[in-house]
Structure 1
Amino acid sequence: MSAFNAIGADREIEDEEFTPGIEPQPTWCPGCGDFGVLNALKQAMPKVGRNPDEVAVFTGIGCSGKLNSYFESYGFHTIHGRSLPVARAAKLANPGVEVIAAGGDGDGYGIGGNHFIHTARENHDMTYIVFNNEIFGLTKGQTSPTSPKGHKSKTQPSGSAKDPIRPLTLSLSAGASYIARTAAVNPNQAAEILAEAIQHDGFAHVDFLTQCPTWNKDAKQYVPYTDIQDSDEYGHDINDRAEAAEAMYDAESKLHEGEILTGRFYVDDERPSYTEEKQAIGEMPEQPLAERYFDEDTEWDRSYQLLEKHK
């Protein structure tokens, strides 16, 4: 039994299915890297055999928040920095749905940074795409957590005095079990990485470099880039946490020096997801909550039945 009849349907999926029938006119600026994220996501879904009825996309506020308006699936537009807790609730209620959360670097690493850390720590089974353009774009060009030191903006007219955060390193230390970086200028790699992230059982974090030609001309196009999986110079064991940490630090340091390193940085396929952990200790039922609404014979548990009285 499934909460949605379409889930589990065995058929070939086409990427055109993820384009809305009445496609809204995108309001992203010409040349915006967000188009690259949208196209990569449309290409990734057929690779994993998911159709629009099996996917839910949760977004925050910002240019990235428009993603689910241009992507055919279930969608939920949350408030600033809060896409992850809403996405977590949806996945726990109905694990059969493929859950994707998205936000910008300000939304994900700044305003929603606390949710990012704890979602990674708990290893929720979902994919988190962070549109990283090193600027607050929708609100017209303020410095963001990933803006490089010295970057001049409306909020830092003399140049930022702060070092940028290191999102890959932060993700690893928090506990994410799949960590990768790709770029809008590398569409083939982007689609492959998103497909892998979606198929991964656990929290998959993809730092997606998206150029902002309107408000952050310093970042240019994030080119030329190097795929670390295709490079003899930068190869490391992506299953080795220590080697991954070193590779991440190297990539984050060289980003602002003009060398763009992209690819898979860390993968842990052995760690159980949060749902599996909760089921193992008996605090989460095997039958998804969402399916109970479709089962007339279900006997609903009450809190006073689940919890022992205080003695």
Structure 2
Amino acid sequence: MSAFSAIGEEREVDRDEYTPEIEPQPTWCPGCGDFGVLKSLKGALPEVGRTPEETLLVTGIGCSGKLNSYLDSYGFHTIHGRSLPVARAAKLANPDVEVIAAGGDGDGYGIGGNHFMHTARENHDMTYIVFNNEIFGLTKGQTSPTSPKGHKSKTQPHGSAKTPIRPLSMSLTSGASFVARTAAVNPNQAQRILKEAMEHDGFAHIDFLTQCPTWNKDAKQYVPYTDINESDDYDFDPTNRAEAQELMRETEDKLYEGEVLTGVYYRDDDRPSYQQEKQEIGEMPDEPLAERYFDDDYEWERSYDRFIDKHK
């Protein structure tokens, strides 16, 4: 069975199919929030109806980068901050694959921040999970872009003088068509949000709060939390950009005051994805580009031929 004949195959999918035989038990620290991401992802994929053969998980460097070692699907472990360009290329080459990118807050909001901004702006059809534990974990506890002001670490022993970034607001401003926040301590909500994100046609960004009991004891476990989509205290329309922006600002203020707000903040289901835009202007074929590698009769086009012809 090839990757192409497996796509679209209708069959029941069990979450245990996503547990690899070689390394079934994750080696994250006890109490790490990354376990919650893995559990929620394994639960959401069968609900979406995706098999391991239809799924690609692209990760960056860090504790979060080990995610595709513990999920039995196609995987690509990239270098630091570069999961999104690899994921974008894979989705454009074979749009029928469910592409998920993942990285930590340092990987995604720091080193890969430029890729994050432009992937959101272009609205590539994929799900992007950012493990946000407000610290660099794998490299042993340095200040990250989401570490709160005053947080003491190996790189900021007297306390960080920097104001943390606002990932939800940055995502919305950059152009993401689906923006959400969830937490490892709320696996049921996380699974629901992951399912909605994967079903969304466009760039879906999830800021996933993941506690780090080893290197960031200040962050606790992000509890208690409030689900903004279910609470009577937050009556807003997630399709209204202005209302979403205001609630994101409030959410990002309250996180460092000890109140955790989570849920789906914004979604635009009418905006075309990058792939659809490229097809509309005739720069991308309807059939998957990747299938051409399996077509012996296909006559390959080379972009430089067009420029050579112009100068003949």
Shorter-chain TM-score bucket reads: over 0.9
State the 4+ residue runs in structure 1 displaced beyond 6 angstroms: none
Q: Does the 8 Å CA contact 1:81/1:107 hold for their aligned counterparts?
A: yes
Correspondence 1:136-151 to 2 at 5 A: 136-151=136-151
How far apart in 2 are the matches of 1:306 and 1:84? Answer: 29
* Residue 21 of structure 1, CA deviation: 2.3
Alignment match, 1:20: 20
How far apart in 2 are the matches of 1:201 and 1:71? Answer: 23
Q: Cα deviations across residues 24-50 of structure 1 (Å, max 9, x unaligned)?
A: 442210000000000000000011000
Alignment match, 1:275: 275
SS at match of 1:293: helix
Q: Does the 8 Å CA contact 1:3/1:294 hold for their aligned counterparts?
A: no
Q: Cα deviations across residues 39-89 of structure 1 (Å, max 9, x unaligned)?
A: 000000011000000000000000000000000100000000000001101
* Equivalent position amino acid for 1:180 in 2: A
TM-score, normalised via structure 1 length = 0.97
* Equivalent position amino acid for 2:209 in 1: L
SS at match of 1:42: helix
Larger mean Cα displacement after TM superposition, 285-294 or 63-72: 285-294
Correspondence 1:1-311 to 2 at 5 A: 3-306=3-306, 309=310
Q: Cα deviations across residues 234-285 of structure 1 (Å, max 9, x unaligned)?
A: 2210000000000100000000101000000000000100000011111111
SS at match of 2:198: helix
* Residue 286 of structure 1, CA deviation: 1.5
How far apart in 2 are the matches of 1:220 and 1:236? Answer: 29
**How many pairs were matched up?**
310
SS at match of 1:4: helix
Q: Cα deviations across residues 215-240 of structure 1 (Å, max 9, x unaligned)?
A: 00000000000000111112210000
How far apart in 2 are the matches of 1:265 and 1:55? Answer: 26
* Residue 3 of structure 1, CA deviation: 5.0
Specify every segment of 5 or more residues in structure 2 that has no aligned partner in the other structure, as ranges: none
SS at match of 1:99: strand
Note the aligned Cα RMSD (angstroms): 1.3
Specify every segment of 5 or more residues in structure 1 that has no aligned partner in the other structure, as ranges: none
How far apart in 1 are the matches of 2:250 and 2:24? Answer: 40
Identity %: 77
Q: Does the 8 Å CA contact 2:3/2:53 hold for their aligned counterparts?
A: no
In structure 2, relative to structure 1, the CA distance for the partners of 1:4 and 1:230 (3 Å cut) is same
* Residue 309 of structure 1, CA deviation: 2.6
In structure 2, relative to structure 1, the CA distance for the partners of 1:216 and 1:294 (3 Å cut) is same
